[in-house]
């Protein structure tokens, strides 16, 4: 009888497994994350697909199994999931230095670009006209996501039972079940199935497997909420620190938190300014959470942009630093490893739902259909780099809109 989950030997680090004795240099890490931060359009699902292409297939810096474990872990903690996947990878490659470099270099290009857009917005009172470019980029992004799902799915759904669980997880999310509940369901069912096959084990072994350690940093939220800042910049920092500590899910969840804090409570933004801020986070590359950079600039200029960016991303660095050492321990435990396998397929199911929703909203006419088809052929058949696809689609959108 096939076991529920395959045994993985983690006596070596991901770097040793994937990169031999060569150690990734800090300069290499800087360059690759700056590149990703500059071209990573399309939101977390697209970012994760691009990271898989860059780190697993092209550079072989990390194994596909370890990459999936980082995706699953990032799905279990608050904050910008794709940024946290990058931080996890940086930490596994170069320790604390890699953790900081990966996160900062992935965030920096978007933060700079958003600050420049915010400066133009403050001066002219409107957003630059980028609808045509964004409209053309989205179909190419969907092709990138589909390629990533195909590659990761073959590794993550390694048994028919895990594949069925992925389908069930996607169905739950389509039905309106929150992403966190979907992940909990997938992990729990996978763990129970493992125990059922290993019925000679004590059921209590499924408890206390260490997964709860991942959530321990949530205590930061209490500190953020309890603190009171007498000055505007301090209040701005604490507001975004609180939001970065508790937000799970999509940009729409972030929008709800931002509206509650800055429109309804503090009255620092109008509804139109908030919608424009979220739009900037959507059509710029890198993390969607750079919406905070835009809001910070509107509230207090460049110092506000810096403070807001630091506040919303800092919890993610802390969460990864604390939970990173737990992942290998979880994977070494057969019971905990089975739970993590379930979370992995649940995470892939959520990415598939995002791809479907993005496609439904953006594939609307012959131009977007053509871009999707050409991009899919280019990336699946001819292995064209995702960066060239994004740039090419953007150029088509600019030409079509001019």
Whether 36 maps to a domain, the answer reads yes
- pLDDT for 220: 39
Confirm whether 195 is domain-assigned.
yes
Residue 303 lies in a domain: no
**H-helix segments, 363-385:** 366-380
For residue 216, the model assigns a pLDDT of: 39
pLDDT at 18: 46
Q: How far apart are CA 258 and CA 365, in angstroms?
A: 33
Instruction: Supply the pLDDT for residue 128.
Output: 60
334 is in which domain, residue-wise?
17-128+158-215+320-360
Q: What span, in angstroms and rounded, lies between the C-alpha atoms of 249 and 245?
A: 12
Domain-embedded: residue 372: no
For the whole model, what pTM was predicted? 0.68
pLDDT value at residue 4: 38
Whole-angstrom distance, CA of residue 320 vs CA of residue 311: 16
Q: How far apart are CA 271 and CA 28, in angstroms?
A: 42
Q: Could you list the pLDDT tens digit for every one of the 402 residues in the chain?
A: 334 343 444 334 444 444 443 578 999 999 999 999 998 887 788 899 999 999 998 999 999 999 999 998 888 788 888 999 999 999 999 999 999 999 999 999 999 999 999 998 888 776 665 667 767 877 887 887 788 788 778 888 888 889 999 999 989 988 888 776 888 898 899 988 888 887 654 444 444 434 333 333 433 333 333 333 335 899 999 999 988 887 765 555 576 678 888 988 889 998 878 877 876 776 788 888 999 999 999 999 999 999 999 999 999 999 999 988 887 777 778 888 888 788 878 878 887 887 787 788 778 899 999 999 999 999 888 888 776 887 888 889 888 876
Q: Is residue 136 domain-resident?
A: no
The count of domains in the chain is 1
Residue 352 covered by a domain: yes
- The pLDDT, as a whole number, for residue 91 is 94
C-beta separation of 232 from 267 below 8 A: no
Report, in angstroms and rounded to the nearest whole number, the Rg of the chain calculated over CA atoms. 21
CB-based contacts of 72, cutoff 8 Å, min separation 6: 183, 340, 343, 344, 346, 347
CB 243 within 8 A of CB 254: yes
Q: Report pLDDT for 173.
A: 84
- The answer to whether residue 234 is domain-embedded is no
Q: Quick check: is 373 in a domain?
A: no
What DSSP assignment string belongs to 114-151?
HHHHHHHHHHHSS----HHHHHHHHHHHHHHHHHHHHH
């Amino acid at each position: 009888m096939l076991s529920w989950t395959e045994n993985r030997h983690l006596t070596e680090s991901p770097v040793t497994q994937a990169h031999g004795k060569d150690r990734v240099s800090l300069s290499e890490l800087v360059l690759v994350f700056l590149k990703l931060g500059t071209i990573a359009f399309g939101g977390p699902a697209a970012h994760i697909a691009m990271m898989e292409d860059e780190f697993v297939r092209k550079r072989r810096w990390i194994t596909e199994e370890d990459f999936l474990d980082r995706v699953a872990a990032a799905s279990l903690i608050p904050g910008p999931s794709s940024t946290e996947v990058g931080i996890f990878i940086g930490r596994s490659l170069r320790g604390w230095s890699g953790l900081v470099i990966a996160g900062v270099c992935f965030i920096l290009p978007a933060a700079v670009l958003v600050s420049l857009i915010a400066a133009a917005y403050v001066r002219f009172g409107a957003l630059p006209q980028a609808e045509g470019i964004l409209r053309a980029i989205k179909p190419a992004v969907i092709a990138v996501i589909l390629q990533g799902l195909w590659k990761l799915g073959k590794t993550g759904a390694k048994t028919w039972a895990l594949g069925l669980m992925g389908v069930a997880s996607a169905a739950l999310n389509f039905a309106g079940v929150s992403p966190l509940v979907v992940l909990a369901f997938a992990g729990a069912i996978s763990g129970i199935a493992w125990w059922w096959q290993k019925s000679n084990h004590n059921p209590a072994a499924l408890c206390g497997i260490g997964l709860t350690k991942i959530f321990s940093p949530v205590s930061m939220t209490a500190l953020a909420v309890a603190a009171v800042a007498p000055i505007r910049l301090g209040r701005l920092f604490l507001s975004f620190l609180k939001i970065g500590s508790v937000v799970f899910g999509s940009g729409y969840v972030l929008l709800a938190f931002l509206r509650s804090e800055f429109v309804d409570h503090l009255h620092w933004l109008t509804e139109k300014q908030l919608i424009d801020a979220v739009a900037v986070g959507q059509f710029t590359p890198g993390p969607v959470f750079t919406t905070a950079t835009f809001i910070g600039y509107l509230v207090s200029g460049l110092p506000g942009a810096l403070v807001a960016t630091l506040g919303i991303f800092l919890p993610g660095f802390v969460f990864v630093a604390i939970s990173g050492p737990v992942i290998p321990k979880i994977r070494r435990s057969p019971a905990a490893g089975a739970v993590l396998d379930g979370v992995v397929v649940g995470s892939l199911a959520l990415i598939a739902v995002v791809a479907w929703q993005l496609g439904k909203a953006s594939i609307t006419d012959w131009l977007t259909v053509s871009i999707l088809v050409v991009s899919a052929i280019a990336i699946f058949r001819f292995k064209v780099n995702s960066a060239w696809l994004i740039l090419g689609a953007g150029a088509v959108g600019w030409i079509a809109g001019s």
